[in-house]
Amino acid sequence: MIDMPVSAEARRIRRIALGDLVHRTAQKYGARNAVVDGDVRLSYTELDARSSQFAHHLLESVGSGCQIGMLCANSADMLVAINGIHKSGNVWVPVNIKLEPPAIDYILRHAEVSCVVVDEAIRAQPGMAGVLDALAVPLVMTMAAAAAAGGTSLQQALLGRATSLPEIDIDGQQPALIMYTSGTTGHPKGVVHSHASAYSAIVGNLSDFAMTPGDVLTGLLPLFHCAQHVLAASACAVGASVVLARAFVPGEVARLVTTEKVTMFVGLPMMYAALLADTTYATPDYSAMRLCIYAMAPMPRPLIQKICEKMTANIMLATGQTEVYPATMSFRPVENPQRDANYWGTCGVACEAAIMDDAGRLLPPGEVGEIVHRGPNVMLGYFKDPQATAEAQKYGWHHTGDLGMFDDGGQMLFLDRKKDMIKTGGENVASVKVEAVILAHPDVAAAAVLGLPHPHWSEAVCAFVVRKPGATCDEAAIIEHCRPRLGSFEVPKAVRFVAALPATATGKIQKNLLRKEHARLWDGAAAGTAP
């Protein structure tokens, strides 16, 4: 075994640090737009200088190695602050600004933040001032006037600070960020990523998406989510531009795509549908578009065809999760017309995927099991939760909690969340499959399918449906719609109509709440008979 001690100088020479990426790009493409935020345009030289100034402010006010909370909507200020946190060797803790104050309070306290970066408008929201004041930590106000009430404005924090990259020791394996999960079953978990794990995802994206300095990509999704953050960081690494928006307004997005000559569009399927249906911007020009990436939900084939016709035929599903910095897998629907919308495709260069049974055995193509990953883009672990970390990392793989299988062509088919697979009458039913069929009914706006306790079936397939405005479909209509499209055991035993489905701030349906509320739905059913 060769023993080569690593000196501080050697660590500095070969370090992996997220804040270095903007600095390096500024040396090559200083005049190029790094970020477009309405009327604000920051070149790479400006982004590098301002983020270094903020880093020096943090080093003087709180030091290095601390957790820095962030409550911001997409903005140039936010990107300045993120990169400043990375450059200072502190740990970025983004918080979903759509959460209620008590949930935000829990995250900031759990993360043990030493400072909070917050938009002035967010601090002014009901209940937020009390949460932030009770923390008794310094506040830096973004999107604020030069003199901000209740804290130091970002402008004040930058004033008079050095624009040079701070010369501090950063190890690639030290924490760079804590990003909290959506908490669909309880308190959210703090996912800790190192500089190296996020960097691995960035390098993977540059390869998988063939990103170049000439690219201009959208920033429509929130930067406090891992997908948009890593895409923006990838742009900063290669010298591309990011066009930010604080809200999705189809006509305004069409204008931005046209005027900024966007080459990479990243959005949810619903965003694509709304954009292509909108007529408020009369002359959208998608001629510069070379890649459309979608995430979070399957893409209907008719919508894929519209994207091909109006935007580009280069369409890609990108998947991932907070614990395995995205993207982990990608699927190209145009190249795979015979595969359905629940396919996740193949792994990118940053990690590998496998299918594993409950005993830790890797399964061959055609067998169903849990989707597991390993690679340098996997998290360090859950903050202050060694038990959950150990459970997620057993058998030397990261366990996603998702069920799937590889087909004979090496493409991954996603089946369901492990906890959402319904076991009824000795059969396994994938809730997402049933949901997809119900959502195809013309009167249905949203649907959630789950298994509820039943004396005969063990679990009965039950659907909770939101009708479209003005629709009048009933339980019988939904069931009859399902019969020719599903196996007999997959057809819902009951359909209940609701005004809305319970969801997290990120839009994930909280099936746990539906299970709790309707757990006794079948209490009156006879054990020996099928309803």
Please give the average per-residue pLDDT across 441-468, as a whole number: 92
Q: Report how far residue 311's alpha carbon sits from residue 169's, in angstroms, rounded to the nearest whole number.
A: 45
Query: Is the pLDDT reported for residue 529 higher than 70?
Result: no
Average pLDDT score over the chain = 93
The pLDDT value recorded for residue 530 is 47
Please give the average per-residue pLDDT across 55-75, as a whole number: 98
Cβ proximity of 234 and 211 under 8 Å: yes
Domains in the chain: boundaries: 421-517
| Main-chain phi, psi angles of 94, to 5 degrees | -75, 145
| pLDDT one-digit tens code per residue, 46-59 | 999 999 999 999 99
Tokens of 130: 């009390």
The pLDDT value recorded for residue 505 is 67
Q: Report how far residue 148's alpha carbon sits from residue 60's, in angstroms, rounded to the nearest whole number.
A: 20
Burial of 391 (0-12, 13-18, 19+ CB in 10 A): exposed
The domain made up of 421-517 has a fold known as GMP Synthetase; Chain A, domain 3 (3.30.300)
The pLDDT value recorded for residue 235 is 98
The pLDDT value recorded for residue 526 is 55
Task: From 420, 423, 417, 438, select the one nearest 489 (Cα to Cα).
Answer: 423
- R_g (Cα) of the chain, nearest Å: 24
Full-model pTM: 0.88
Cβ proximity of 173 and 6 under 8 Å: no
| pLDDT one-digit tens code per residue, 377-391 | 999 999 999 999 999
| pLDDT one-digit tens code per residue, 148-207 | 778 999 999 999 999 999 999 999 999 999 999 876 556 889 999 999 999 999 999 999
Tell me the H-state helices in 189-312: 195-208, 226-238, 250-259, 269-277, 301-310
| pLDDT one-digit tens code per residue, 341-378 | 889 999 999 999 999 999 999 999 999 999 999 999 99
Buried-state track 477-515, b at ≥16 Cβ within 10 A, e below 16 = ebbebbeeebeeebbbbbbeebeebbebebeebbbeebb
Q: Which residues pair with 417 in a beta bridge?
A: 402
Eight-class DSSP state of 484 = G
Buried-state track 13-33, b at ≥16 Cβ within 10 A, e below 16 = eeebbbbbbbbebbeebbebb
Q: Report how far residue 238's alpha carbon sits from residue 24's, in angstroms, rounded to the nearest whole number.
A: 9
Task: From 164, 170, 176, 182, select the one nearest 202 (Cα to Cα).
Answer: 176
The pLDDT value recorded for residue 183 is 60
The pLDDT value recorded for residue 161 is 98
- Res. 528 pLDDT band, cuts 50 70 90: very low
- Res. 437 pLDDT band, cuts 50 70 90: very high
Q: Report how far residue 270's alpha carbon sits from residue 274's, in angstroms, rounded to the nearest whole number.
A: 6
Q: Is 180 helix (H, G, I), strand (E, B) or coil?
A: strand
